[in-house]
Amino acid sequence: MIDINPFLAWVESTTLSQWIVGSPSMLAFPGILVVHAIGMGFAVGVSAALDLRILGVAPGIPLADMRRFLPFLWAGFWLNAVSGVLLLIGYPTKALTNPVFYLKLTLIAVAMTLLVRISGRAFASSSGGPSGPPVPEITPTLRKLAIASLVCWTGAITAGRLLAYTYTRLTQLH
Amino acid sequence: MDIHQFQVWLVTTIYRNSPVADLMRTAWAWPIAESLHFLGLCLLVGSIGTFDLRLLGVAKRVPIAAVHRFIPWGLAGFAINIMTGTMFLLTEPDQYIYNPSFHFKLLFMTIGGLNAGTFYLTSYRHLFGPDAPLDAPMRAKVIAAISLCAWLGVITGGRLLTFYRPAPCDGQQKGLLLTCAP
């Protein structure tokens, strides 16, 4: 078993880590948390809207047109990838010694994989007849993927929130 | 009673009569309520935010009324957050009533609410009637932009609460609202 403690101690010793955790600026740790919450709203919110559309909400929206909202989902995702890495650099020991953190990352990975599969099916340019735009069909498989997506996001958010209550070590010093 | 005295009265009264404080102080009630609060946030942004984006011109071929069908889900998210938020407030009232970040959160919620009311009063008939245009008028776009900003302000105010926890008052507190704990 590799001892990761020296690596965690090194991360915590970097200027960036110490600025994130120690700076009195509201742009440091608090600002990164704000970005992380807003990114979550767009990533999970738009993904959930797509899932709900597949499950029968807002049937007047052509399914293929839901793709117009996807750039906002991806913007939220990348905001959270960046802000999440910054939070990890701030408190590497707190996150990496907590099994719940790995559960959260796994659930996000599954949710994003589901999104890619849902996008592939919902926005496929398969033939819909000689005239007019192609009409993707909402299959039982697509519905199952949408339900799985909602379940994964619920789990990821819950796991993320529980990180504040389940960690055993805050930093190498504590 | 001035507004500072009202805040003190409110905190004292809630502490004396809170119906949920005992429940919320059990091991997992607070974290579960927080998780629900975050899920409600996502529903709200995913529904109301998506509708705002449509008014601003995203997915222009889709009828505005069709995207409006997401709004009940946004209201459900809002209802979840009012309930869970009230439970936090009724458990630790001093952490909210004296917190400037909470004051801003309430201000942005009020702006978001009045703004939504303005939308229905000024644009509903125009955008949901039989001859509804696909491109929303500038008035509705301004309302949509204000809505997005207001809800992002609400999220910001909520996320920053913990960094503006009220300290004990020393001396006379100035300002419109009390931001320290007497």
What are the pLDDT digits (tens) for B83-96? 999 999 999 999 99
Among chain B residues, CA nearest to A162: B31
Q: How many CB atoms lie within 10 A of CB A36?
A: 19
**In B, which residues are within 8 Å of A65 by CB distance?**
59, 61-62
Quote the tokens at residue A103: 């559960």
Q: Do B47 and A33 touch (CB under 8 A)?
A: no
pLDDT in tens, A19-51: 999 999 999 999 999 999 999 999 999 999 999
Taking CB atoms and an 8 Å cutoff, what residues of chain A touch B159? 30, 33-34, 37
CB contact under 8 A, B62 and A61: yes
Tokens of B135: 């491109």
Residue count (chain B): 182
B42: Cβ–Cβ under 8 A, 6 or more apart, which residues? Answer: A40, A41, A44, A45, A48, A153, A157, B77
Tell me what ipTM this predicted complex has.
0.95
Residue A54 vs residues A51, A116, B60, B136: alpha-carbon distances, Å: 5, 14, 20, 26
CA distance A34 to chain B (A): 6
- Tens digit of each residue's pLDDT (9 = 90 or more) over A45-77: 999 999 999 999 999 999 999 999 999 999 999
For residue B138, give every residue at least 6 positions away whose Cβ sits within 8 Å of its Cβ, in sequence order, or none.
Answer: none
> Quick check: A42 and B45 CB within 8 A?
yes
3-state secondary structure of B181: strand
Print the domain residue range for B77: 19-92+100-164
Distance from CA of B38 to the nearest CA of A (A): 7
Residue B168 three-state SS: strand
**Closest residue of A to B65, CA-based?**
A60
- Rounded Cα distance, B182 and B93, in Å: 13
- A21 DSSP 8-state letter: H
Residue B39 lies in a domain: yes
B169 in any annotated domain: no
The SS3 of residue B13 is: helix
Residue pair B111/B146 in contact by the 8 Å Cβ criterion: yes
Residue B75: inside a domain? yes
The C-alpha atoms of residue A98 and residue B134 are separated, in whole angstroms, by: 50
In a domain, B12, yes or no: no
Of the candidates B43, B49, B58, which has its C-beta nearest A68's C-beta? B58
Residue B171 lies in a domain: no
Residue B2 domain-assigned?
Answer: no
Which residue of B50, B62, B75 to mutate against A (max A Cβ within 10 Å)? B50
Q: In the prediction, which pLDDT does A95 show? A: 97
Tell whether B53 is within 8 A of chain A (Cβ). Answer: yes
- Whether residue B24 lies within 8 A of chain A, CB to CB, comes out as no
Domain count, chain B: 1
CB contact under 8 A, A165 and B31: yes
Distance separating alpha carbons of residues B76 and B81, to the nearest angstrom = 9
As a whole number of angstroms, the distance between CA B152 and CA A12 comes to 31
Q: Is residue B169 helix, strand or coil?
A: coil
Given an 8 Å threshold on Cβ–Cβ distance, is A38 in contact with B156? yes
CA A83 from centre of chain: 11
Residue with tokens 């709004």: B71
Helices A99-122/A29-54 angle, 10° precision: 40
pTM for the full model? 0.94
Of all residues in chain B, the percent with pLDDT exceeding 70 is 100
Q: Domain for residue B57, yes or no?
A: yes
Distance (Å) from the C-alpha of residue A14 to the closest C-alpha of chain B? 24
Instruction: For residue A46, list chain B residues with Cβ-Cβ distance below 8 A.
Output: 46, 49-50
Torsion angles phi and psi, residue B38, rounded to 5: -70, -40
> B residues 59-118 near A, CB within 8 Å?
59, 61-63, 65-67, 69-70, 73
Mutation site, B38, B101, B151, interface A, largest A CB count within 10 A: B38
- Tell whether B55 is covered by a domain: yes
Which residues partner with B181 through β-bridges? B168
* CA–CA distance, B79 with B61 (Å, rounded to integer): 31
Read off the DSSP letter of residue B49.
I
Q: Alpha-carbon distance A88 to B17, whole Å?
A: 41
User: What tokens does A48 get?
Assistant: 């959930």
pLDDT at B135 over 90: yes
Position A127 confidence tier, pLDDT thresholds 50, 70, 90? very low
- Residues B143 and B118: beta-carbon distance below 8 Å: yes
CB contact under 8 A, B66 and A61: yes
Per-residue tokens: B179:
């931001």
Higher-confidence position of B30 and A172: B30
Contact between residue B21 and residue B91 where contact means Cβ atoms under 8 Å apart: yes
Higher pLDDT, B119 or A130: B119
